[in-house]
Structure 1
Amino acid sequence: MALLEVRGLVKRFGGNTAVDDIGFDLHEGELLALIGPNGAGKSTTFNMVGGQLPATRGSVKLQGTELLGMPSRKIARLGVGRSFQIAATFPSLTVLENVQTALIAHRRKVYSFWRSARDLYVQEARALLQQVGMSEQATRPCKELAYGDVKRVELAMSLAGSPRLLLMDEPTAGMAPAERNALVGLVKKLVRERNMAVLFTEHSMDVVFAYADRVIVLARGQLIAQGSVEEVRRHPKVQEVYFGTGRSFQDANKETLP
């Protein structure tokens, strides 16, 4: 049984159909990329799965539990984590305090003036920072970090709820190529270690083809292809959507070589 089952997902805005009858599965231990050109319906699909946007019709089930209609906070309690295009950290707090804040929120801990929040979940926060390679910068304010390191802190925060499913919206946006590969390589390592599933949107085809286990492709609100990286890379409809007729991802890669 798949961890996540999406069936017949539809979203209409007035007379415009932004997503039209999309369905796919996502399994534990799998990194699934959701790609497509601008206006394909990626963000709309992504936000319906995460509960930020209501669906017009369809079904999104997490191990048999229907998520459509649930508020996003309740979906998070079921084991669904989320990261965003723009890193959602607290710049004035230290790296450690950011992760502690996420742990406090996920565990719904109420603390009093007699016990500082700084005393809560210190070891758990340090363990998460160790996993994302940020333990040595635990005492630095987030505002002092390079953007790639901020994204690592956000990743640690998204792991605070021990998610079974992690939704990552454009995780490498604004990052240099080396930073992109380092971050998604780390995510793939965590997917294997934690046996969780990740659904991510991404514009960098280099990242998608290097790290995704499977790929689903949208165009004009419809699912036009899904399968392994090689199956999608060679799919004529995908090549047409991205490049028009007569070109391929292989041709585009050759053109970028010195």
Structure 2
Amino acid sequence: MSVVLETRGLTRRFGGLVAVNDVSFSLQKGELLALIGPNGAGKSTCFNMLMGQLKPTRGTVHLMGDEITGLTPRQIWRRGVGRTFQITGTYASMTVIENVQMALLSHHGQVFNILRYAHKMHRERAMALLEMVGMQAQAERHCAVLAYGDLKRLELAIALAHDPTLLLMDEPTAGMAPRERIALMKLTADIVRDQGVSVLFTEHDMDVVFAHAHRIMVLNRGELIADGNAEAIRNDPRVQEVYLGGGTLFNAQDEGEHA
């Protein structure tokens, strides 16, 4: 498999505080990689450096072999990196399909010159994306009346409108009911498998992580302390100490229930 994303010695300081310290990892094509850790571990800071919201104090970020360190979020987005956020950012006054159409218009560089005709454009592709995330039946509903779980699925469709090579998902299931969390990450795993998109996501729900991630990385106090498959992470004493003070992080019986 080819390497889609690679960081080398990624570090970010805020004055005397080291939020992320010498983090190096790679993400393969078609891989679903989880980045976990307790609150304050540095996950969001790491994400913000990958997407250009923050510049690293030291270290580099590479996308498909090219260095993207220091590029703006829009420049990185144009290179094929999508992102979803902890808090959804859809247009509440627009319908579901109009939100996806706006993303497609942006992807094609058409936002500023054809707004009068925007509602007629890219409808077929927008509907295909909504079908992919199970939202086609709600295409004409306004986002203001959607349930939170549906907004999260719509946000995923919007991110996919750019045909990304890499998708960064910052706590994609935050605020969702347990059943909705499992459903959204199963949907994401299916997209990874079917579309070949690489996904890096942060998550606090260990059921979601162990049920769907191909590989798991653990951050603690800004440092990468573990990187491996579910079994390796589950049995790593450093990870157990971080999460449960030495207890078992997740057992095999529970994993079978959520697979």
TM tier, shorter chain?
A: over 0.9
C-alpha separation in 1, matches of 2:174 and 2:120: 34
Q: Give yes or no for the alignment of 1:36 onto 2:37.
A: yes
**1:80 aligned partner:** 81
Offset, 1:87: 0.8
Give the share of equivalent positions with the same residue, in percent. Answer: 56
Q: RMSD over aligned Cα, in angstroms? A: 1.6
Give the match's secondary structure for 1:216.
strand
Give the match's secondary structure for 1:40.
coil
Any gaps of 5 or more consecutive residues in structure 1?
A: none
C-alpha separation in 2, matches of 1:250 and 1:173: 20
TM-score computed with the length of structure 1 as normaliser: 0.95
Offset, 1:249: 1.5
**1:210 aligned partner:** 211
Offset from partner CA, 1:138-161 (integer Å, 9 cap, x none)? 000011111111111100000011
Q: How does 1:100-115 map onto structure 2 within 5 Å?
A: 100-109=101-110, 110-112=112-114, 115=116
**1:200 aligned partner:** 201
**1:65 aligned partner:** 66
Give the match's secondary structure for 1:217.
strand
Q: Which residue type is aligned with residue 220 of structure 2? A: A
Q: How does 1:1-258 map onto structure 2 within 5 Å?
A: 1-109=2-110, 110-112=112-114, 115-245=116-246, 247-250=247-250
Any gaps of 5 or more consecutive residues in structure 2?
A: none
Offset from partner CA, 1:48-77 (integer Å, 9 cap, x none)? 111111100111100111111000000000
| Cα separation, partners in 2 of 1:215 and 1:250, compared to 1, 3 Å | closer
C-alpha separation in 2, matches of 1:52 and 1:205: 27
C-alpha separation in 2, matches of 1:39 and 1:172: 18
C-alpha separation in 2, matches of 1:166 and 1:250: 26
C-alpha separation in 1, matches of 2:65 and 2:145: 43
C-alpha separation in 1, matches of 2:96 and 2:150: 10
Give the match's secondary structure for 1:3.
strand
Aligned residues of 1:51 and 1:71 also touching (Cα < 8 A): yes
Q: Which residue type is aligned with residue 249 of structure 2? A: F
Offset, 1:111: 2.9
TM-score computed with the length of structure 2 as normaliser: 0.94
C-alpha separation in 2, matches of 1:132 and 1:23: 32
Aligned residue pairs total 253
C-alpha separation in 1, matches of 2:134 and 2:180: 13
C-alpha separation in 1, matches of 2:225 and 2:204: 17
Give the match's secondary structure for 2:3.
coil
Offset, 1:112: 3.7
